[in-house]
Amino acid sequence: MGAGILAIICVGETESQRLDGKALSVCGDQIAGSVPEGVTLYAIAYEPLWVIGTGRAATPDEIAEMHAHIRQCLVVRSGAERKNVRILYGGSVDPSNARDILAVPEVGGVLVGYESLKAADFEAIFRAVSAKAQPRWANFPYRKPSARAASGNSWIKKPHSWKHRPIRGFTPVESSLR
């Protein structure tokens, strides 16, 4: 993380685990085994294995139940400091379901897989998301302040137009290679 790389931990269950009623416990165990104590966590993603590559997505109720469980696991494990961690959904997000998925409580964004390879579909997802745009500058993890920042030369790039404002589900990425 010191190099400007942010990890997103992904959790999810298989179809048989879901059908056996073990989805919540499986994801809870994955969180317990993969979320380190004392490390700043910016995002975690729920990516049910049974929807990846199938074109099927979890229902809004299934997503809401799992995201609430993930939030509860994070808070129980690490306390109130993890109440603001973004929980993303990443299972077969496409233009037809992006808006509905983002309307689910606790969904802080989406991970777009295969659809991101098709420009028209990705643009449609982007437009669906941008229709519900909400700036999230306060929660975005910028680089740590440096001596340059303290001297008044801001290291945060301010948005100059609508194109530079983050929208719900998409996070701006600054290149440190400039």
Higher pLDDT: 8 or 138? It is 8
Whether this prediction's pTM lies above 0.85 is answered by: no
Q: Which domains does the chain have, with CATH numbers?
A: 9-164 (3.20.20.70)
- Alpha-carbon distance of 98 to 128, in angstroms, equals 7
C-alpha dihedral sign at 59, 61, 65, 70: positive
Local structure of 10: helix, strand or coil: strand
Mean pLDDT of the chain: 76
Phi, psi angles (nearest 5°) of residue 9: -80, 130
Cα 19 from Cα 121, distance rounded (Å): 31
Residue 141, phi-psi category: left (phi > 0), alpha (psi -120 to 50), beta (remainder): beta
Across 38-52, 59-73, 124-138, 142-156, which has the greatest mean pLDDT? 59-73
What is the DSSP track for 97-113?
THHHHHTSTT--BB---
Q: What is the pLDDT, as a whole number, of residue 166?
A: 47
Q: Can you say how many angstroms the Cα of residue 60 is from the centroid of all Cα atoms in its chain?
A: 16
Q: How far is CA 130 from CA 10, 18, 114, 166, in A?
A: 24, 32, 20, 9
Query: Does position 136 have pLDDT exceeding 90, yes or no?
Result: no
Mean pLDDT of all residues in 151-167:
45
Which pLDDT score, from 0 to 100, does residue 2 have?
Answer: 63
SS3 category, 11: strand
pLDDT one-digit tens code per residue, 84-130: 888 999 988 888 888 899 889 889 888 888 888 899 999 988 887 77
The C-alpha atoms of residue 28 and residue 57 are separated, in whole angstroms, by 20
Note the pLDDT of residue 116.
85
